[in-house]
Chain A
């Protein structure tokens, strides 16, 4: 990974709205690349965390990724209607802007989960009791929080104040709701 890639990632993390608008102008493949990089980090760190935490007898279990899929499912379910709905109510975000915002959001989600990975290692080292749920399940939830908060920040930055705030809240609630429902199904609660 070159230094310029890293610098552009850090710029996207520091100023997501600015980077979103720049990505929307740039060739589409850079948006796809960023989304893939973010998703890759998110998936890899979540799976590594599951392997680490759920390996009691030395035999590595196959990770279940119960909460990883719901992130992408909720994005796939909420995303399209967000794009269309935003156009309907007259927001200025275009389809490209939305896609770029999702890409930046996925990148931040990936970096957040990757940064939390050392804590999982630490927990493996020091855990002396069996928790009710595996702490690895925390990572996808953090990833979703990163995604939702980033897209919300971008919306609030590039839309006019009341509309942007409203759109951000609606988007985040919808994302969280769908994630919760899909997660319940995957965990076998519902």
Chain B
């Protein structure tokens, strides 16, 4: 049978890996020293890939930019959830708005990339487009931040109606207006 041969190969590799872990004092999770070596000896197929293969690198730059807005959107969404008043319509509105802003940001990044290579006569037009986009983005970000702050206030004030409700409703209306504006001007 080939089975004993396989077991032998398994044990030999396990011993090698365990000795390496022991000599190098490598920790496996919270196990160290002898415990780590013993773990490696028995379960090396589960631990060896993590030690041998290079860890995938970080994400590219322009993705990290979009993250800022997405993180902000998530914050506002969770603030809304915790305040306990968001209906489905508002949730969808907010999600759509954040998506729009992220798309806008991507477009701006493309615009910036093409700006340096653009011929001289189209450059003023591109610059104007870029400024317009940046202003839109800033307005959107501001509205989101205000909404987040208002929701936080509301949650701690503990009142579910009255003046705060009106402010939040106003902010929602503003975001809706911005969203529809973006949808119409959005290229």
Q: Measuring CB to CB, which residues of chain A are less than 8 angstroms from any residue of chain B?
A: 3, 6-7, 10, 51-53, 55-56, 58, 118, 121, 124-125
Contacts and interface: CB of A to CB of B under 8 A. Distances in A.
Q: How large is the interface on B (under 10, 10 to 19, 20 to 34, 35 or more residues)?
A: under 10
A56 B5 CA distance: 12
20 contacts: A3-B54, A6-B53, A6-B54, A7-B54, A10-B53, A51-B2, A52-B2, A52-B6, A53-B2, A55-B1, A55-B2, A56-B1, A58-B2, A118-B45, A121-B6, A124-B2, A124-B3, A124-B6, A125-B3, A125-B6
Given A55-B2, A124-B3, 15 more contacts: A3-B54, A6-B53, A6-B54, A10-B53, A10-B54, A51-B2, A52-B6, A55-B1, A56-B1, A58-B1, A118-B45, A121-B6, A124-B1, A124-B2, A125-B6
Contacts of B45: 118
Nearest to A14: B56
Interface in B50-105: 53-54
Interface string B92-127: 000000000000000000000000000000000000
Interface in B1-57: 1-3, 6, 45, 53-54
Nearest to B9: A121
Interface of B: 1-3, 6, 45, 53-54
A102 to B, nearest CB: 26
B65 to A, nearest CB: 22
A51 B5 CA distance: 12
Nearest to A56: B1
A37 to B, nearest CB: 17
Contacts of B1: 55-56, 58, 124
Nearest to B2: A55
A45 to B, nearest CB: 14
Contacts of A6: 53-54
Contacts of B2: 51-53, 55, 58, 124
Chain A CB count within 10 A is highest, among B2, B45, B53, B54, for B2
Contacts of B6: 52, 121, 124-125
Contacts of A58: 1-2
A189 B165 CA distance: 79
What 3 A-B pairs come out closest when comparing CB atoms? Answer: A55-B2, A124-B2, A121-B6
Contacts of A118: 45
A51 B45 CA distance: 22
A82 to B, nearest CB: 33
A23 B3 CA distance: 42
B81 to A, nearest CB: 36
